[in-house]
Amino acid sequence: MTSSFASLTEFRSLLQQMPGVDAEAAEAARAHDSQLTKPPGALGRLEDLAVWYRGWRGGERSEINAPQIIVFAGNHGVAARGVSAFPAAVTEQMVLNFQRGGAAINQIARVNGATLDVVPLALDEPTQDFTKAPAMEEAEFVEALRAGWDAVSETADLLVVGEMGIANTTSAAALACALLGGEAAVWVGRGTGVDDDGLALKTQVIAEGVALHRDSGDGLEILRHLGGRELAAMAGAMARARHLRIPVILDGFICCAAALCLERTAAGALDHAVAGHLSAEGGHGRLLEALDKAPLLSLNLRLGEASGAGLAIGVLKAALACHAGMATFAEAGVSDG
């Protein structure tokens, strides 16, 4: 069930053998919800979340006790084109910050009772500049997918993946543009805060990369050509979670671009995931529409690091606490109308 893979072909075949939702468990959860002391539907999406979670976990398990957040870090050759407001050295500096507990995600993980793992990926070997060559060779790409796959804890009961990688909003926009079409200008955003000239340059760089690689193959090939190691690792981790029946909360624009690559390779590959939030990065709303997922939160975040999804852990925990802890009409002696 959780065997690893040695090649892209093996990873592809794992994507074709994904377990589905446990329809009986979901049905039992829906039936239980209908007995709880509230007007039907009054807990809105919290009700759907509880049914979704129990459907993926199966059985009676309906508490989150071991959420795992993993932040993957990678460096991008395309950063040398000047597409970020910050230098590439910040990727490694932020990894140290995560390790010392000083980043936003450290605080968000702590208050939501999640473990936080930080996985730097060959930071001293940036990917190739995708305007000139494929970002990754196949062997590097498989290694990054596998780093993600191997980082997921078998005992986690919820997975959130995030990233750190200067210039990765350029990579994410290129992925979305190549897979979903439209002009680069539709997908580009300011990332860390590039100015108008920076935005024009970034749009041009995305368009160049997409023109070079858009016909390179399926979602995984597009990810190899235009992605980065941390995006590949996020995809590998989300696929492993599916095989372990661990539900996933998606983070912002970059995480969702990685998710889209899986979805475009194997339809339904993200059925075990919900969207944690709507990022302020321009194209995220459209990306969520393409994934057919509605965000749980909208807080004007544009950080990444798994921050939006990390915050949504609290919402999901509350949904399950209501589902498991509320009295039924019969238990409480409340008239059910």
Ligand X SMILES: Cc1cc2ncn([C@H]3O[C@H](COP(=O)(O)O)[C@@H](O)[C@H]3O)c2cc1C
SS3 117: strand
Q: Who's near 320: CB < 8 A, 6+ residues apart? A: 49, 50, 53, 62, 63, 64
Contact 49, 319 (CB under 8 A): yes
Nearer to ligand X, 37 or 97 (CB): 97
Tokens of 271: 């059925």
Q: Does 106 bind ligand NIO (CB under 6 A)?
A: no
Q: Does 86 bind ligand X (CB under 6 A)?
A: yes
How many whole angstroms separate alpha carbon 14 and alpha carbon 327? 41
**Which of 43, 51, 90, 260 touches ligand X by CB under 6 A?**
90
Contact 131, 202 (CB under 8 A): no
Q: Does 77 bind ligand X (CB under 6 A)?
A: no
Residue closest to ligand X (Cβ)? 191
SS3 250: strand
The one of ligand NIO, ligand X, none whose footprint includes residue 281, by CB under 5 to 8 A per kind, is: ligand NIO
How many whole angstroms separate alpha carbon 219 and alpha carbon 279? 22
Q: Does 161 bind ligand X (CB under 6 A)?
A: no
10-18, 50-58, 238-246, 278-286 -> range binding ligand NIO (CB under 6 A): 278-286
Residue closest to ligand NIO (Cβ)? 252
**Which of 91, 169, 203, 265 touches ligand NIO by CB under 6 A?**
169
**Angle (deg, nearest 10), helices 8-15 and 253-265:** 90
Smallest Cα–Cα separation from 309: which of 271, 252, 260, 257? 252
Residue 136's φ and ψ, nearest 5 degrees, are -135, 145
Q: Does 204 bind ligand X (CB under 6 A)?
A: no
* Helices marked H in 266-306: 284-291
Q: Does 167 bind ligand X (CB under 6 A)?
A: yes
26-34, 59-67, 125-133, 246-254 -> range binding ligand NIO (CB under 6 A): 246-254
Q: Does 254 bind ligand NIO (CB under 6 A)?
A: yes
**Angle (deg, nearest 10), helices 168-180 and 284-291:** 50
Smallest Cα–Cα separation from 29: which of 334, 320, 327? 320
The one of ligand X, ligand NIO, none whose footprint includes residue 86, by CB under 5 to 8 A per kind, is: ligand X
Binding mask 170-199 for ligand NIO (x = CB under 6 A): ---------------------xx-------
CB of 261: closest distance to ligand NIO in angstroms? 15
**Which of 127, 131, 169, 265 touches ligand X by CB under 6 A?**
169
178-186, 195-203, 227-235, 301-309 -> range binding ligand NIO (CB under 6 A): 301-309
The one of ligand NIO, ligand X, none whose footprint includes residue 136, by CB under 5 to 8 A per kind, is: none
Give the strands of the sheet with 115-120, arranged side by side.
Answer: 115-120, 67-73, 158-164, 248-250, 273-275
**Which of 194, 238, 253, 293 touches ligand NIO by CB under 6 A?**
253
Q: Does 72 bind ligand NIO (CB under 6 A)?
A: no
- # chain residues binding ligand X, by CB under 6 A: 18
Q: Does 252 bind ligand NIO (CB under 6 A)?
A: yes
Task: Residue 224: count other Cβ atoms within 10 Å of its Cβ.
Answer: 26
Beta bridge partners, 109, equal: none
Residues annotated catalytic, as ranges:
305
Contact set with ligand NIO (CB under 6 A): 169, 191-192, 251-254, 279, 281, 284, 302-304
Contact set with ligand X (CB under 6 A): 84-86, 90, 94, 163-170, 191-192, 303-305
